[in-house]
Structure 1
Amino acid sequence: MNSPALRSRSIGRGIAEAAVERARLTVVPRRRTRAARMPFVMLVSLVLLGGVIGLLLFNTSMQQASFAATALEEQANTLTAREQTLQMELEVLRDPQRVAEHAQSLGMVPAANPVFLRLSDGKVLGERIAATPANGLRVRPLPPAKPAVLTPAPIVHKVVADSRRASDETAGSPGRNVANASGEHGRR
Structure 2
Amino acid sequence: MSSASPVPSGRTTPLRGRPWLDGAALQRARLAVVPRVRVRASRFPFVTLVSLILLAGVVGLLCFNTSMQQAAFTESRLSQQATDLAARQQTLEMELEELRAPQHLAAQAQKQGLVIATTVAMLDVETGKVRGQAAPATADATPPLRPRVRKPVFR
Q: How many residues align?
A: 137
Give deviations 1:105-152, integer Å, cap 9, x for gaps: 11222343153656xx475663362542347421326xxxxxxxxxxx
Q: Note if contact 1:97-1:139 (Cα within 8 Å) is conserved in structure 2.
A: no
**Residues 14-53 of structure 1 aligned to structure 2 (within 5 Å):** 15-17=20-22, 19-53=25-59
For residues 108 and 143 of structure 2, the distance between their equivalents in structure 1, rounded to whole angstroms, comes to 13
Q: Quick one: structure 1 residues 127 and 6, their matched pair in 2 at CA, closer, same or farther if it must change by over 3 Å? A: closer
**Residues 17-166 of structure 1 aligned to structure 2 (within 5 Å):** 17=22, 19-111=25-117, 112-113=119-120, 115=122, 121=126, 126-127=131-132, 129=134, 131-134=136-139, 136-140=141-145
Greater helix proportion:
1
Aligned partner of 1:40: which letter? F
For residues 98 and 7 of structure 2, the distance between their equivalents in structure 1, rounded to whole angstroms, comes to 136
Greater RCO structure (CA 8 Å; 6+ sep): 2
**Residues 168-187 of structure 1 aligned to structure 2 (within 5 Å):** none
> If the length of structure 1 is used for normalisation, what is the TM-score?
0.59
Aligned partner of 2:131: which letter? G
Q: Quick one: structure 1 residues 37 and 6, their matched pair in 2 at CA, closer, same or farther if it must change by over 3 Å? A: closer
Runs of 5+ consecutive residues of structure 2 not aligned to the other structure: 147-155
User: Secondary structure of the equivalent of 2:54?
Assistant: helix
Larger radius of gyration: 1
Runs of 5+ consecutive residues of structure 1 not aligned to the other structure: 142-188
Q: Quick one: structure 1 residues 126 and 21, their matched pair in 2 at CA, closer, same or farther if it must change by over 3 Å? A: farther
Q: Note if contact 2:14-2:20 (Cα within 8 Å) is conserved in structure 1.
A: yes
For residues 58 and 74 of structure 2, the distance between their equivalents in structure 1, rounded to whole angstroms, comes to 24
What is the percent sequence identity of the aligned residues? 47
Give the corresponding residue for 2:12: 10
Give deviations 1:27-63, integer Å, cap 9, x for gaps: 2221112223121111101110011011111111111
Aligned partner of 2:93: which letter? Q
Q: Quick one: structure 1 residues 138 and 26, their matched pair in 2 at CA, closer, same or farther if it must change by over 3 Å? A: same
